[in-house]
A and B are shown apart, each in its own frame.
Chain A
Amino acid sequence: MKKPRILVVDDSIAIVNSLCTILQMSGYEVDSAFNGSDALRKIHSNDYDLAICDIEMPGVSGLDFLERVRRDYDRELDVILMTGFLDHDYFIEAIRLGASDFIRKPIDTKQIIRSIQSLADRRKNRFDHSEFYGHLDEAEFNFYFNPKHFSKFAISKVFNSFLRQNFRINPMVINGLLICVDEMVYNAYIHGTLELSINERLMEHSALQELINQRLQLPEIAHKRMRLAFSINHPLQTITISVEDDGKGFDYQEWLNKVGKEPQLNLDEHGRGISMLYHLADTLEFSKGGRCVTISKKIYPAQ
């Protein structure tokens, strides 16, 4: 079983060094940060199972760090908070924000190793399917959306959880994939399904929502569906995502020719999404008269 990868965060160099040494000697993979901002940046671009963070730090405090992790990173990264004292208010706030455990300074080596092991066991039982999926040659998932219910869900959030909980993929790659999925599904919804014009799409938010609700009542719109297919191929280290709608399609070849050339500054509302897909993904293809868009991307497993 893979040892948890741990990020140690404290503004005290001495504490970071001693804790890192203890954890490395216990066989864990360890990284460190000396303030909350640096720690958040590291979480942005690396994959950790656990963060051990001091509560009292200048700037982004341990509680700020915990709040940002919970808000911006949907997967349930375990966070152990360290403190020299356990103030009642801090304790309540940390529980509310979702702290996984607390350790008191000075650090008791046995206590922290017990805490890490317990969290690792709990995590394994809770939701980590990455080891199972990681041993499959290929896995495919198909999602069918009814547009009437689509706007109730934040697709990026759902996909963020799906990718982080099931696969070990570099967070930077996940980041790019989330933008691609957002782009593909949003286009299938706005153009293919609701058939909104450019001017309608630019309406003020509440007016646009009202228009969307009206469109969704029309039988010819309500019967449409959107389909998303996700597959991961481990031998090829590739993820492929397709989104298909029941719309009229569009002349994609013209756009592919444009974005294939040196990208030009584009101030128009047309074509920017295709340009972004082209540059964020490794491959971009359209089929079924433009109703179906497919991207693929190398995954580079999390370090």
Chain B
Amino acid sequence: MKKNKKDNPMNIELSIQDRVANMKIEGILNSENAHLLQEKLAAVLTSDAKLLELDLFDCRNISSTGIGKILLFYKDFISSGGEIEVIRSSNSVYELFSMLKLNQLFTVNLG
């Protein structure tokens, strides 16, 4: 059975301009679709971007697999002089990032 878009209710938009990558994630980021995030983050890593702005306003929640992809990216991106900022986040994602102390690694803005 082939999976279609409705099986994984998540969408990622990525644009890179003037060394700033803007990534907007909508829906639920879970173990089934975390590899899609990994692919987008890999594209940021190979670009000339030095700042990743994450828009998680319409992201309803993130599983530990998704968090893992962000942290793996964080380690590589920071070591090459990059920075991450969550420019907007939903309540549930903000609470999750605070709980996991990710706000100690990068700025996490609510709403």
Contacts and interface: CB of A to CB of B under 8 A. Distances in A.
Contact of A276 (B32, B75, B100, B101): B100
A71 B61 contact: no
Interface residues of B, number: 40
A71 B32 contact: no
A154 B1 CA distance: 11
B30 A179 contact: yes
B68 A272 contact: yes
Contact of B90 (A44, A182, A208): A44
A74 B6 CA distance: 8
A182 B30 contact: yes
A269 B68 contact: yes
Given A157-B8, A276-B96, A265 B64 contact: no
A221 interface: no
Interface stretch (A108-116, A170-178, A245-253): A170-178
B17 to A, nearest CB: 22
A171 to B, nearest CB: 9
A147 to B, nearest CB: 14
Interface string A52-94: 0000000000000000101111100000000000000000000
Nearest to A202: B72
B53 interface: no
B92 A172 contact: yes
A156 B90 contact: no
Given A152-B1, A156-B28, A157-B7, A264 B64 contact: no
Nearest to A268: B71
Contacts of B74: 267
A95 interface: no
B38 to A, nearest CB: 7
Interface in B56-103: 58, 60-65, 67-68, 71-72, 74-75, 90-92, 96, 99-102
A130 B36 CA distance: 34
B6 to A, nearest CB: 7
Interface in A137-193: 152-157, 172, 175-176, 178-179, 182-183, 186
Given A205-B38, A263-B101, A265-B105, A186 B92 contact: no
